[in-house]
Structures are given as structure tokens and as C-alpha cells.
Structure 1
Amino acid sequence: MGIRKNQANLTATERANLVNALLQLKANGGYDQFVREHIDRGNADSDFSVRVGHRSPSFLPWHRKFLLEFERALQAIDPTVNLPYWDWTTAGASSSLWANDFMGPNGTSSLNWRVNSGPFAQSGGNWTLTVRSDSANYLRRNFGSFGTTLPTATNVSSVMALSTYDTSPWNSQSTNSFRNYLEGFRGPNLHNRVHNWVSGTMAGFGSPNDPVFWLHHCNVDRLWSQWQARYPTQTYIPTAGTTNVNDIDEPMDPWFGDATPRNMLDHSAWYTYQ
């Protein structure tokens, strides 16, 4: 069982091992398969038709499964690697997260917000975006684009106070829904707001092309884990009888089989959070 740490608490060796595993997964073609999976799922999800990975109750279990499969792919390269989480309430633009030996810096405005240094800059020869949702084949970031700010601890507390997992109509219009407020279509806009704050590559369905995607979603998963511990009797809904969204025992695309929301509720056999 692995331990997912706050990225700020990683040792220099742990940071280097994560970066090296990411670069190797990119080099062997495995990384791009995850990008394609996310783009395909994102393009297929719609408020009033089938929706699985986004705008739906299964947003959280779908991404938990997605993270787990990605983490396993990294561990096949280096068994010591566990995905860390980025607590965006305490680590903003000045964080060591953006150091040149880790996730790399913000983009350059005069170059279409291209990231020009760090391990994931295209100029280094190791990170060309071959599967993408826009025309740029290089990593882009534009921190705080259009005045966007990162969520605060107060924002998070307000979402964690919602004791109902989700509500009808089970999409981006759901109110008083922990899932929808965490996903960011209602309330203080948590998950979506972070994507928009990083901007550039992170602003589209090709967002996994930015490795910080995984650290961001680990934090989203961590918050769901904390919510589950706070409200142990409030589980995933809907349980049955709906169309276009996954009921608790309905397998999720693209994995199907035993990849149901119910089987993603308890992560303790695979990892814990520091």
C-alpha cells in the first residue's frame, strides 16, 4: 500500500524519481494513452446525454480509477513512486512545485505561454504533445489567467459542509451536491477553478498533458476521501434506476468489468493520504 504525500513534503529523491518515471512513461508511449483516454471521455460527456467522467456522479470514482491506473503505470517503471497531491489552498504561483527540477515554471506570455524550462518543456526534447485537444504541441501555462484565483481553505470548508453526495439532475446543474460543488460547476468552483488558474494546456480535455494534472486530481481525490470519513453513512448516489449516468453498481467506461463506483469507494487497499 502506498502513501500519497503532499508534494511540498517530498524529498529531493522522491521528486526526481517521480519526474524520471513520468519521462520514461512518456518515452515508451504509455503516457499518451492516458491523455487519449481523458480526451475521449471528456468529449463524450454531456449534461443531458451519457456522462461518466465529468458532469456526473461518477466524476469522483472515475478519476479515482484513472489516477490508480496511471499510478500503476508509473510503478511498473519505478515501484518506489507514489503520486503526490497538490494542496492548492497553501501552494500558489511561488510554490516549489514549479521549480525547474520538478513540474517546471509558468509559461512565457510572448511565446503563447509556452513553458520554456524544466523537465516538461518541449525544448528539452522529452515532452512533445502528440495527443492533444488544441493546436499547440508544447506545454503551456498562464497562471491566474483572466484574474482566476486558487481556491482557499474557506472555499474548501464550505464544500466539505455539504453532506449529500449528489442530487438530481445528476449533472452540472445539481445544487447542494458535494460532487458538483467539488467538481466546480456550482459554489466556490474548486476543481474546475484550478484547471482554469493553471490555464494553457490544463484548460482543455488534453489537460493530462500537463503532469500537474495528476497532482491536482490527487488533491481532489483526497478531499473526497476526507468527505467520506466525515460522512460515513452518506455514500455514492444514485444507487439504481437512472439513465445516462452510472448507478453505484454500473461499470464505468472505458474499463467496464468491476470498475464500478462502488468498487472505487474504498481506496485503503491501494493507498492512503499523508
Structure 2
Amino acid sequence: MGLGDGIRRNIAKVSKEERDLYIDAVKQLNQIYYSPTGSRTDFPAGHVSYWFKQDEIHQSSHIHGCPAFLPWHREMCNRYEALLRTIHPELSLHYWDWNLDPSAMPDGQGGVINIFDADFMGNADGTVNGGSVGEPLLSAGFYLVNPSDPNPGDGKFRDNRSPVVINKPNPNDPSTWNYPPHYNPADPPKTLTRNKQAGPPPVGVPGSRWAKDADFFNANTWEEFRDLMYGYEQGTSQNSAHGEAHGYIGGNLRNPHISFRDPFVFLLHSNVDRLWAMWQLQPGHAERLDPTQVYNTEGNTTGTGDIESDAFWGILSPLEPWAGFTAQTTATGIIENLLPIRPWFAPENEENQMGNYKTSMDVSVVTPPSYDTAPHSN
């Protein structure tokens, strides 16, 4: 089968029809709004598009270099795939196989495909227009038309500062809080750029810090697997496959706080999740599908720190922002300076809906999606 079978595939090998449906769904998500009756002048902002909400979600939580990194990003990818399916139900969140140069990937039928063209993901050449992504995302409002203007859109744009620190005149009263200049999630980013390195990624090259796929599959423990993926970020080694993938594409992708303004990031993170799924599904390892065993010695970790500096999200931490602004407790470890986000905050309060309060232990998070390189698991 293919289109509509629920399997995430190598994006180079899906049909042109499906790629067209995929980018159409991405663009349409920027025309549908959370809290549609709200206003950009609200705090938290209302009338934020489904697409711009992805950046707001990612910045608000900043879950990197910690045990919850893989499960939290799986939850985000799963929710994004569900959004794509609200536009075209037959779609799946496909992946970029990072062994391949995305500008020259075999399509499985004797041809070669460049996904960085004006029909799909847009420009990734840093020498063209300063690396601006261009079409098809420019005219769809994913960033401003004239990024050279010092004050475009009457000042209604987001800049590239990171991390975002919101203004809190009264730290104990969210009704007094507001956004700093040029960070309102309802506004488009001023720029969106890439600067892809030439040739294929240096996967497995000595000194690259980028492990081969086989190294991931052969990891004996959760700790070994996640160390290969982001050991440098967690401070356990120099391994950094996830970080190197972001840096290979460059531009927005190089900055973890603003990387989710680029739709390509979901193809990258779908591949991160695919490798984790394949590790989980290695024969003879049923414990990797057991929420009480999969995370091994990190299964009882709680949260500490502050998203404005160095948050450490544990496996027992509620998955934010969906669990809600007040979900942090002493039992799970309180992360400070969360950004309240609608609709998982007043006035919609969707954090109270069934299924929104969960941790990395939830079976819906531990159970991997289906990929073309792994058997169905649902």
C-alpha cells in the first residue's frame, strides 16, 4: 500500500501526489487558528495559527538534554501528524533519512529528488538570497515578505532571540504578564533561513559525533541509545547525532529555540523517532515497549531547573504544555518559568481534557508509530 496506510516513510520515496498533499496541509495549518475568538493582544495570545503554535509549544518547554527529550518529541510529532490529518486524513508524518543528502536522494525508482525546491520545502542553499527559504513558504506567510526591512509589518514580527523571557511585573499573577517586543506567537517570524552543508551528512565518519544507524540499533540499554542521540546535550559524552543533524541543515535549524519555525524540522524529528522505534522493536526486547522498563535507570527521574536557563525534564515530568501550566508538582519535580499557552490555559483550559495530562510513561508515548523500516506496532 502507500498513501493512507498510516505508515511513515522515507520522504524521498513517497509519491509526488503525497508530497503535494503534505505541503498543502502544512500551508493550510497556517490558516487555521487555536483560540480563534482571541486576539494577539491577549496574554497568552489568542488567534495563533496551528502552524505558529508549533514554535510556541517548542519554545515554551525547551525539552533538550534531558531524559524526556525523546518521549516529549514523540508526543509533539504524534500531535503534529494528527493536525496534518485534519487537513488530509490520508497523510503520515514521513521522515528524512539522514544518511542521504536531502537535495539529492534516490526516489526508489531510478531517479533522484531534491526536496529543497519551490514545490516542497523551499531553498536550503545559504548562498541564495542569504539562505531565505522562499517558496512555497514565503507566500504562505511562514515569514515576512521583506526581511531586510528593519520594522516590517508595523513591527508585528518575531525576531530570533532565544530563549524568550516574558515580562512578569507581578511574578505571582499571570494576568500582569506580557511578551517582550518582537515575540508574540501570533506574529510571523521576520526571517526563515537554511544553510545546508554540501554533500551528504557525515554519518559514521570518525570525529563527526554522528553515530551510524547500526550503532543505534545495537545499543544495549536506553542510556546507550539516548547517549548516541544526544549525549553532548545531556553532558554524558561528545555524541550528538540529533544536534549534528540540526547543524547540517543550518539556519533556523541550528538554533534549538527557533528550529520549529521550519517545517523541515518535523521530517528530521520523525527520523529521530524512527531510530528510537527501531531500537525499541529489536527482537528479544519486549521490555523496551514496557513503560515501567524502557527508560531503565532514568525511569524515575523528575524535573528540575528553569526553562529560561537550564531545564531538566525527567521521565515523570508532565508533558508540557498539554498537561497545563499548573501541572508541575513537588512529586514530579517543578520546572520553573513555564510560559502559559492557550488552549492549554485559561480561558479554554484544554489541559483538563482527557489525554492531555500524561508523562513519558504513558503507553501512547512509549508505543512507537509505524515506519516503513519497522513493523506495525498499533
Q: Do both proteins adopt the same fold according to a TM-score greater than 0.5, normalized to the shorter chain?
A: yes
Q: Provide the residue aligned with 1:30 in structure 2.
A: 50
Q: What letter is aligned with 2:371?
A: Y
Q: Provide the residue aligned with 1:173 in structure 2.
A: none
Q: Provide the residue aligned with 1:49 in structure 2.
A: none
Q: Provide the residue aligned with 1:193 in structure 2.
A: 244
Whether 1:239 and 2:306 are equivalent positions in the alignment is: no
Determine which structure has the larger helix proportion and give its number: 1
- The answer to whether the 8 Å contact 2:27/2:140 transfers is no
Could you say what secondary structure the match of 1:255 adopts?
Answer: coil
The 5 A counterparts of 1:118-129 are 118-120=135-137, 122=138, 124-128=139-143
Q: Provide the residue aligned with 1:50 in structure 2.
A: none
Whether 1:99 and 2:120 are equivalent positions in the alignment is: no
2: CA distance, partners of 1:86 / 1:93 = 11
The 5 A counterparts of 1:255-274 are 255-256=322-323, 257-263=356-362, 264-267=365-368, 271-274=369-372
Shift of 1:209: 1.3
The 5 A counterparts of 1:92-171 are 92-95=102-105, 96-109=114-127, 111-116=129-134, 118-120=135-137, 122=138, 124-128=139-143, 130-131=157-158, 133-134=160-161, 137-144=190-197, 149-152=201-204, 155-166=212-223
Q: Provide the residue aligned with 2:259 in structure 1.
A: 207
2: CA distance, partners of 1:191 / 1:101 = 27
2: CA distance, partners of 1:34 / 1:243 = 22
Distance 1:252 1:32, change over 3 A: same
Task: Give aligned pairs, total.
Answer: 247
Q: Provide the residue aligned with 2:270 in structure 1.
A: 218
Q: What letter is aligned with 2:160?
A: S
1: CA distance, partners of 2:200 / 2:22 = 28
Q: Provide the residue aligned with 1:15 in structure 2.
A: 19
1: CA distance, partners of 2:64 / 2:322 = 16
2: CA distance, partners of 1:27 / 1:211 = 15
CA offsets, 1:37-71, max 9 Å, x none? 111222xxxxxxxxxx2111110100000001111
Shift of 1:249: 4.6
CA offsets, 1:91-141, max 9 Å, x none? 34423222321112223426332123x312x2x353216556349623211
1: CA distance, partners of 2:260 / 2:314 = 26
Identify the structure with bigger relative contact order (alpha carbons < 8 Å, sequence gap 6+): 1
- The answer to whether the 8 Å contact 2:318/2:359 transfers is yes
- The answer to whether the 8 Å contact 1:119/1:126 transfers is no
- The answer to whether the 8 Å contact 1:115/1:140 transfers is yes
The 5 A counterparts of 1:80-99 are 80-95=90-105, 96-99=114-117
2: CA distance, partners of 1:125 / 1:255 = 27
2: CA distance, partners of 1:181 / 1:90 = 19
Please say which of residues 147-156 and 177-186 is displaced more in the overlay: 147-156
Distance 1:227 1:127, change over 3 A: same
Distance 1:132 1:13, change over 3 A: farther
Q: Provide the residue aligned with 2:173 in structure 1.
A: none
Distance 1:27 1:128, change over 3 A: farther
Where structure 1 has 5 or more consecutive residues not aligned to the other structure, the ranges are 43-52, 167-176
Shift >6 Å, 4+ stretches: none
Structure 1 vs Structure 2 CA RMSD: 2.7
CA offsets, 1:14-58, max 9 Å, x none? 10110000001012211101111111222xxxxxxxxxx211111
